[in-house]
Structure 1
Amino acid sequence: MAVALVMYFMPSSKIIDTGLSIVPQAENVDANIQASSNVAATKSIIEQAHFVGSETCTSCHQAQHQGWQQSHHSQAFAPANADSVVGDFSTVSVNYSDGVAVFEQQLIDSKTQYQIRLTPLSSDSSDSIEQIYPVVYTLGIYPLQQYILETHPGNYQVFAVAWDARKAEQGGQRWMDLTTSDATDDTLHWRQYFQNWNSQCASCHTTNFETNAAFATNTVFKNKTPANITADANSNKSPTFTSTWSEPAVSCESCHGPASGHIQWADNKENNEHVSKGLVRQLATEDYWQFVANEPIAQRLTSNNDATAMPVIDGCANCHSLRQPISTISHESTQTDWLNNFEPTRVREPLYFADGQIREEDFVYGSFTQSKMAHAGVTCLNCHDAHSGQVKGYDAQQLALPSNDGVCAQCHRADVFAVETHHHHPVESESARCVSCHMPERTYMGVDERRDHSFQIPSPALSQLLDTPNVCTECHSNNSDAWAAEKVEAWHAASPIIDNGEMDFADWLLEFSRLNNRLVQARTDNEDTTQLISALTTLENKRYTLLASTKTPAMKKSMLLDTMPINSQQAFDTLVLRLSDDDVVVRLAAISIIRNFDISHRQQLLMPLLKDPIKSVRFAATLALADLLATPQFISQQNNRKNKRLLKENVRQFIEAYEYHGDLLGSQMTLADINRQMKDWDAVVIAYQRALQLVPTYVPALVNLADVYRLQQADNKAEPLLLKAIAVTAENARQAINDPGDIYAFALQQQASVEYALGLLYARAKNYSKAIVPLDNAVQLSPANTDYFYASLLMLDALGERNKALELLRRSPLTQNNEQLTALLRQWQP
């Protein structure tokens, strides 16, 4: 996405450098009893709270307001004016993918107004007329500032060319074209869905944002029911927007919730003892860490009047995460637990590398919650100032992070970690800094360097096995992963890393990758694999131990579950136990695996989770069980009445939530999924058509809708969808040819699967001469796929070319290890 990430916001922690335990003072019981009498009144104030604006907060919180004014949050989104615009609009011409953009400004009624004049590449272009767009808003501030144009009333798009706000000596103070493709129908083109501000940016760049999207019938998604969405099913128009927000920035109330109740609390002296202070969302302002004798890392002390760690992270995760919204109210609202408002995206490929390092834009949460630091109770606020959003010690003038690792030394003893025996680099060098090894940078949008927050120990040996990045060879670029692995192994032999001797996730993943690679090679070489399989079985037992351990971070547990084969009773029992795990993300991972089980096991295991206290868990279980409502046996059973009512109510809430966020592509695809399970085919078609209204080139929607038409025996409607999907996937493959191997391979596989579907469509129509072309294409694109090969052989046979098919069958290496192909060979042998 071409949207600059605002800086992380986060308050101070106190480090107690003593070997003594700290015992909290006894509470004033009388004061607590007195305060509790006002609980009901304060609760009412909170429930009725509304937004008042950041200026209202300034009168009492001047220091916090001043810090916030310097933050990226305060500049996340603003009306375009002389105070907010940092780009050069002095009639500057910039060549970009569509043609020429001229950035201009003029003085109207004593106010500077900004505009962008667009001249197309040629008169043959679909947008061949010169257009002038006023710049309506700015988006972000550093390292890039982007500009928002109103392409239709209420529809705001983020323009392709952004201002590089870095210093000139850093390569900045210039216009940058962020376009990744010159195709105007590319999903990342500035006029397309993923650059739509209303759907993709606004909720995290404003306060109290409501999308208010509608399709052609102008029926707003909010409170929409399945019965009243059919009228616009065949419309090709994108949704329209009448979006609203309270404040054009990430303000106080984005984090603390609507503040009218807080003002009432402040004005009412009788309520001033109540712990909530009239605030909708409570965030901890301080926590306490203590160095214990002979321990190199401080330990967290939880005071009885401190909020717990996770609500702090939850407050930040509202925006600093990959997630699907599932609320039916603005997500900057009254819910403290964000997992009732969102379903988090778990750490999996291709969004992350196989070892959990960041790959695509992950917005921190998924990365940080893997870390041992987060698991120990470290929060965003321990390293970042709550209101300026900067890392503690940040030099605002030099735009530089602290150079002395002081942030890390709050909890990690410098005499243990900031020494050459630990980091093995000259002490004053950049390579000796903690972040250089434990928070590697990855660059997005050309210049936006973002640090990994999983705080992993570099493992070039693992990178060698999994083809993942590692900081060693990023600096020592002339050397290999093998060279780096040898160096690191020698370091650790001479000076072991601080460790308790137990296998953790990183140790397990390294050993698993080694054994798995050796097993693959042994099978290729026809070697005996008995010992390797035995070793992997032992390692599976260690997987189960890690999953049961309270020392394993929840996100790591979800990664362990995602790759766990359910091939034994112990594996099954381990999985079932995770359904009652304390961590939501672990329960979600377990549900995603059980969703693939047969219907009776799903019903038995997941039905209780329809009553889970967390909405994201209930919704995941609902999606996994929805097909029960189309199962006659479940519907007819008298003893299922309560379960039927429970499931139907969860389905109703599920659909309501996803329709509320129906301007999101993921929402429409999920609505299609749940309705397909319930065999509500009209609703399925509507959802896929709406997905294609949002992104006309979205291949999964094209293919899935074509498959629905296949089921409805309407191949005449399916054919144009598949032809379009082939054109899109072929272009995707062409553009991915220079990308990392797995991305290019995925593009080829996607094209092959669509070619196969089109070939089967023609085969059903007995148009064999037409069918053989896409089937042969599928085989060429994915030569290891036996289904594609088998279908192409049958088409050759249907065309009277059995001898040719038989020769291909005999020569193919696929035949030997595939029962279906072997049977066909026996059948056709003379």
Structure 2
Amino acid sequence: MHLSRLGVLKMVADNPSQAPGQRESQTRIWQIVGMVAALLCLISPFIYLQRSEYSVKPVIKGAPSFVGSGQCRPCHQEAYAKWKGSHHDLAMDIASEETVLGDFNNVQFVDPYSGAASRFFRKNGDFYVETEGPGGAVGVFKITHTFGVYPNQQYLIPFPGGRLQCLNVGWNAKQSTWYRLPPYEVDGPDDWLHWTKGGQTWNGMCAECHSTKLEKRYDKTTDTYDTRWFEIHVGCEACHGPGSNHVSWANRPVLARPQVENYDLPVNTATIDNQKQIAICAPCHSRRYQLGDNLHDEGEILDKIVPSLLMEGLYYPDGQISEEVYVYGSFVQSKMYQHGVRCSDCHDMHSLKLHKEGNDLCLQCHRAGSYDTPSHHFHKQIHEGKPSKGYLCVKCHMPGRVYMGVDYRPDHSLRVPRPDLSEKIDVPNSCSTSDCHQDKGLAWVNDQYTKWYGKSRKQHYGEILAAGRKQNPEAIDELIGVAEDSLLPAIVRATALALLSRYPQERTIPVYTSALEDGDALLRHTALRNAIHIDPETRLHLLQAKLYDPVKAVRIEAAAGLSGFPLDAINPQHQERFQQILAEYRTAMEYNSDFAPQRYNLGNLAAAIGKGEEAIQLYREALAIDDQFYQAKVNLAMQLNQQGENLKAADLFKQVLEAQPDLHEIAYSLGLLFAEMEEYEQAAYWLGQAADNMPNHSRARYNQALAYLKLEQWENGEMALLKALENKPGNREYFSTLANLYYNFRLTDKARILAEKTLLTQPDHELAKQLLEALSRQ
């Protein structure tokens, strides 16, 4: 019969015939038994773990590899369920009955811009379009992949060379109809922006952000792609990094899991600040160029990409979105970002949906009593008997624009409305949008705004950047102030640095040298790219130091800059490092050499190291990719000029100016080229065009004066010299040339006036003193 320990103890206690000593002895025995049993309970897990299949052994890990989102589902069912069906999940897919949204029932669509007809139909279960193809010829093309899901869906078509091309007719999922996608200004089937050309090639333009572990694999020599992905869509590992080590760790019994950092995931997403979080998002959610495949690992943003600054054509001067720039460049301007707000504070990172709707989203942080009230926003929920959305925070602080024809995207700079800036620098404002008060006029909007919020307005950096874009001479001091203001967003300061390069003056040099030591990599990178007017000796020293920068974009920019120096000018202790980083730069440019700008950069590198013929070839290759990339034409012209082919160079400059008449620096270069060719009439004309449009560029006016003097047009030469001196009154060369002109023609009165006027503002001007002395002896 089986007896429990309690049963035995009860029998002993109930036996009064036992002597007291015997009972005490048996009690001690059972106490010992109890202690042993307790000890066994304590150590049994450790004994259990000594079994070979459960023992905690040293973990020998290699580099983590990708395993796929399906491996995450068993443990992370809630997160997986949110992600499934999200825009990340549906970013790209195989074209099938389940994934294709468009109407392929023999439907025809006529492009309202080009007039080309497209017919969508099915055959043998596959999807086809009959439309204008390469060279303008109509062809039938099979659609193999869907791209996106809502509010629009695009379709991908295989082309030779491993390309997938994005058809320029897409499906409007909002209105269930076909529509023409931008860009609309396509100059025929040979234009780079035509759907069959490089501007619409999925491999280079879109792929890295719609799939996980995308390898572009572009071969520059054959102009072909062998593009591959691990997951066709944006999966879990796109943000968390390759998960093999984590899955291996998770597959162990709970008690057998070793203590590891971040659960053995390579990217920490749980306990990070907003800077580290946006570094995960920015490689896709930004306007940028890549430095290589996205490895989905941690690191600085500029280790992977170089984001665009707030430059003309992409952003309005005040930083509002203009072109399609996505979110990064806007959000990092915001006060929210400056105060630590993260993407995940508003968006669920798996479903991508907002945490809350309406003003409730903002009231997670902002007090309702202060902000969600008519005393703040001055708008009603019911206006003139109709529902109104004017009271919503986003209507004032996140105005948006429509991209891709149907996709409304809010500006994430979360700015205070400034309708006064619309008058000053011609930027949009949230009050005057089409669904608010467009019908009232700007004057009415500003009057209402003043009534509500008063007359006081702080100067906005947009006013300074706008002046810098126009190269206003007086903007230099304010641009320096913006570049040096550590309280402003880094992207704003970097933009000011870039604009300062248009003012090549000595007092900007300390601004650049200071920026090279800034803690923000974007500022260091921008300083390196734009500090080209620093004297060679100082620049050589600065560039060599930056070869050791921890951030990839910065150090390779330093190597590119150093390539323009003779190799023996570089300190021997830096030469090996220079060669290593220069190779890193070349690899980064070759990665993107399917684009004209990077092929152009390779041409610049070849030119810098004295390989002129190679540079010419690379510039021509850049133009073969995109003949509207004028920078390649400019540098090709300069190389042809060095080869003595001046007529070809002049023709290229003229082509650029015909397409881009506002590029006044090119007019200046063309004028100098004609002067070199001794065609002084043409030289004077183009130098005058440059000087008229670049009021702070006195050298253009001075060179125009020299051309007039060569033509013996003395009066024109005199007027040009006076204008040059008016701009740079202390310039010895300008003064000397004009003084000699007066002296040689015995225009003593004019010469005396010149000297006396100069000495009034510059009493120590030696040449003016010498001129007066010479005149007094006559």
TM-score range, shorter chain: 0.7 to 0.9
Residue 610 (structure 1) aligned with residue 547 (structure 2): yes
The Cα offsets for residues 689-738 of structure 1, whole Å up to 9 and x where unpaired, read as: 33223223322112211211211223466466556x35xx64x5xxxxxx
1:87 aligned residue (93, 96, 102): 102
Q: CA separation in 1, counterparts of 2:319 and 2:525?
A: 18
1:100 aligns with: 116
**1:593/1:153 CA distance change after superposition, 3 Å:** closer
1:436 match:
395
Which of 492, 496, 499 is the aligned partner of 1:556? 492
- 1:206 equivalent in alignment to 2:145: no
Shift of 1:131: 0.9
Q: Is the 8 A contact 2:671 2:686 kept in 1?
A: no
8 Å Cα contact 2:547/2:578 also seen in 1: yes
In structure 1, what is the equivalent of residue 598 of structure 2? 667
Q: Is contact 2:192-2:625 (8 Å) kept?
A: no
1:546 aligns with 2:477: no
Task: Give 1:137 deviation, angstroms.
Answer: 1.5
Q: 1:794 to 1:674 in 2, by over 3 A?
A: same
Q: How far apart, in 2, do the equivalents of 1:483 and 1:388 lie? A: 42
1:309 is aligned, of 265, 274, 277, to: 274
Cα distance per residue 1:54-102 (max 9 Å; x no partner)? 2232233232222222211122211222222111222122222555333
Q: CA RMSD in A?
A: 4.1
8 Å Cα contact 2:498-2:526 kept in structure 1: yes
Aligned-partner Cα distance in 2 for 1:442–1:355:
16
| CA offset digits 1:114-162 (Å, max 9, x no partner) | 1111258xxxxx8464311111212212222112122324122111212
Deviations 1:1-59 (A, max 9, x none): xxxxxxxxxxxxxxxxxxxxxxxxxxxxxxxxxxxxx99976x63x5222222223223
* Counterpart code for 1:509: Y
Q: Name the structure 2 match of 1:196.
A: 201
Q: What residue number does 2:754 align with?
A: none
- 2:147 matches 1:139: yes
- In the TM superposition, residue 418 of structure 1 has moved relative to its aligned partner by 0.7
Q: 1:576 to 1:248 in 2, by over 3 A?
A: same
Q: Is the 8 A contact 1:309 1:378 kept in 2?
A: yes
CA 1:115–1:420: 2 relative to 1, 3 Å: same
* Distance in 2 between residues matched to 1:711 and 1:161, nearest whole Å: 46
What's the offset of the Cα at 1:324? 2.3
Identify which range, 411-420 or 187-196, moves more after superposition: 187-196
Q: Deviations over 1:478-535 (max 9, x none)?
A: 44545434433442349x9xxxxxx9xx645378689999x98xx9xxxxxxxx99xx
Moved more, 436-445 or 345-354: 345-354
| TM-score, normalised via structure 1 length | 0.71
Distance 2:499 2:107 in 1: 52
1:149 aligns with 2:157: yes
Q: 1:775 to 1:421 in 2, by over 3 A?
A: same
Match of 2:634, SS? helix
Q: What secondary structure sits across from 1:437 in the alignment?
A: helix
State whether residues 317 and 466 of structure 2, in contact with CA within 8 Å, keep that contact through their aligned partners in structure 1.
no
The 1:787–1:141 alpha-carbon spacing in structure 2 relative to 1, beyond 3 Å, is farther
Q: May I ask how many residue pairs the two structures share in their alignment?
A: 670
What is the Cα deviation at residue 364 of structure 1? Answer: 0.8
Counting only pairs closer than 5 Å after superposition, residues 515-594 of structure 1 correspond to structure 2 as: 543=482, 546-547=485-486, 549=487, 552-562=488-498, 575-594=512-531
- In the superposition, relative to structure 1, how do residues 267 and 556 fare at CA in structure 2: closer, same or farther (>3 Å)? same
Counterpart residue type for residue 535 of structure 2: D
Q: Label 1:268 to 1:360 Cα distance change in 2 as closer, same or farther (>3 A).
A: same
More moved, 563-572 vs 201-210: 563-572
On the 8 A contact 2:425/2:466 being kept in 1, the answer is: no
Is the 1:321–1:366 Cα contact (8 Å) retained in structure 2?
A: yes
User: Is residue 377 of structure 2 the alignment partner of residue 420 of structure 1?
Assistant: no
Q: Displacement of 1:755 after TM fit?
A: 6.8
- Taking the aligned partners of 2:684 and 2:191, their CA distance within structure 1 comes to 27
Residue-by-residue CA offset, 1:531-552 (whole Å, 9 max, x unaligned): x99xx97x789758732x4xx4
Q: Find the aligned partners of 1:247 and 1:158 in 2 and give their Cα distance.
A: 19
- Are residue 259 (structure 1) and residue 243 (structure 2) matched? yes
Question: 2:314 aligned with 1:345, yes or no?
Answer: no
Once residues 645 and 353 of structure 2 are traced to their aligned partners in structure 1, the CA distance between those partners, rounded to angstroms, is 57
Distance 1:249 1:176 in 2: 25
Give distance in 1, aligned partners of 2:171 and 2:453: 45
Check if 1:749 corresponds to 2:662.
yes
Distance in 2 separating the partners of 1:568 and 1:176: 48
The higher-RCO structure (CA 8 Å, 6+ apart) is 1
Compared CA separation, residues 116 and 714, structure 1 to 2 (3 A)? same
Return closer, same or farther for 1:793/1:559 CA change in 2, 3 Å cut-off.
closer
1:453 to partner: Cα distance: 0.8
1:175 match: 179
In the alignment, is the contact (CA less than 8 A) between 1:282 and 1:336 conserved in 2? no
In the aligned structure 2, how far is the partner of 1:249 from the partner of 1:58?
16
For 2:370, the aligned partner's letter is V
Q: Which residue of 1 aligns with 2:68?
A: 53
Encode CA deviations 1:326-384: one digit per residue, 9 max, x unaligned: 23xx3133344332122222233332111111111112111111111112111111111
Matched with 2:288 is 323
SS where residue 263 of structure 2 aligns? coil
Contact kept in structure 1, 2:556 and 2:581, CA below 8 Å: yes
Q: Does structure 2 conserve the Cα–Cα contact (< 8 Å) formed by 1:199 and 1:663?
A: yes
Distance in 2, Cα, partners of 1:515 & 1:322: 24
Shift of 1:323: 2.0
- Please state whether the residue corresponding to 1:431 is helix, strand or coil: coil
Q: Matched residues in 1 for 2:299 and 2:720: separation?
A: 63
What 5-or-longer segments of structure 2 have no aligned partner? Answer: 1-54, 383-387, 729-733, 748-778
Structure 2 CA distance for partners of 1:513 and 1:106, relative to 1, 3 Å = closer
The residue number in structure 1 matching 2:582 is 651
Deviating more after overlay: 150-159 vs 476-485: 476-485
User: Which letter maps to 2:574?
Assistant: N
Paired letter, 1:673: N
Q: CA deviation at 1:789?
A: 8.1
* Identity, % of aligned positions: 29
Q: Give the CA deviation at 1:419.
A: 0.8
CA distance in 1, matches of 2:619, 2:130: 36
Instruction: Please state whether the residue corresponding to 1:748 is helix, strand or coil.
Output: coil
**Does residue 484 of the first structure (1) align with residue 440 of the second (2)?**
no
Length-normalised TM-score, structure 2: 0.76
1:12-411 mapped onto 2 (5 Å cutoff): 45=61, 47-96=62-111, 97=113, 99-108=115-124, 112-118=125-131, 127=135, 129-167=137-175, 173-178=177-182, 179-215=184-220, 217-218=221-222, 239-269=223-253, 270-284=256-270, 306-327=271-292, 330-393=293-356, 402=357, 404-411=358-365
1:483-522 pair list within 5 angstroms: 483-493=444-454, 507=459, 509=461
Offset, 1:264: 1.1
C-alpha distance 772-406 of structure 1, shift in aligned 2 (>3 A): same
CA distance in 2, matches of 1:613, 1:781: 41
Task: Determine if contact 1:558/1:585 at 8 Å carries over to the other structure.
Answer: yes
Structure 1 residue 569: Cα displacement:
9.8
* Structure-1 separation of matches of 2:535 and 2:496: 22
Partner of 2:640: 709
Q: Is the Cα contact below 8 Å between 2:596 and 2:625 reproduced in 1?
A: yes
Is the Cα–Cα contact under 8 Å of residues 144 and 448 in structure 1 kept in the other structure?
Answer: yes
Q: Deviations over 1:268-297 (max 9, x none)?
A: 34445323222222212xxxxxxxxxxxxx
> Residue 642 of structure 1 corresponds to which residue in structure 2?
573
- How much has 1:614 moved relative to structure 2? 1.6
Q: Deviations over 1:208-248 (max 9, x none)?
A: 11122224x43xxxxxxxxxxxxxxxxxxxx2212111122
Structure 1 residue 454: deviation in Å? 0.9
The Cα offsets for residues 552-578 of structure 1, whole Å up to 9 and x where unpaired, read as: 433333345445699999976565444
